[in-house]
Amino acid sequence: MTPSDWLPHRPPFLLLDTMISIEPGVRASGLWTLTGDEWFFPGHFPGRPTTPGVLLLESLAQCGAVAVLADPRYAGRLPLFGGIEHARFRRQVLPGDKVLLECEMTRLSARGGKGHGVASVHGQVAVESDLLFILADAT
């Protein structure tokens, strides 16, 4: 299954290509491959394309959302950002990089939760953060 089987996001804002593993309601991992043709590279930054950190956080959130939405208890819900805590950016993500996204739920209830996400490239952490979310009705 692809991320779009669970997520309402669509290109150009689907920032997750492939799911590697999903443990519903617990954790998920996936990949985001940056080709260099993404819409943000020409302006961020001209001559030195770098993936914006906020988009790396969004890609982690999307990975975590798959873990949540794959759980039948939360099917039909919409996880929305509630906050970002302890975000640390450790390396740039460049065109051609394949980003491994891993998100584990540390708290989950009918109203929302919290997950810890790590994005890495070639075994090096690019960003990690705690992601808080609320669960809204999708309609």
- 111 pLDDT higher than 90: yes
Average pLDDT, the chain: 96
Residue 1's pLDDT is what?
Answer: 76
Tell me the catalytic residues.
44
Give the tens place of pLDDT for each residue, 21-80. 999 999 999 999 999 999 999 999 999 999 999 999 999 999 999 999 999 999 889 999
Spatial contact of 115 and 67, defined as CB atoms under 8 Å apart = yes
CB count within 10 Å of CB 108 equals 19
Phi and psi at residue 16, to the nearest 5°: -155, 120
Residue 138's pLDDT is what?
Answer: 83
All structural domains of the chain, each given as residue ranges with its CATH number in brackets, are 3-137 (3.10.129.10)
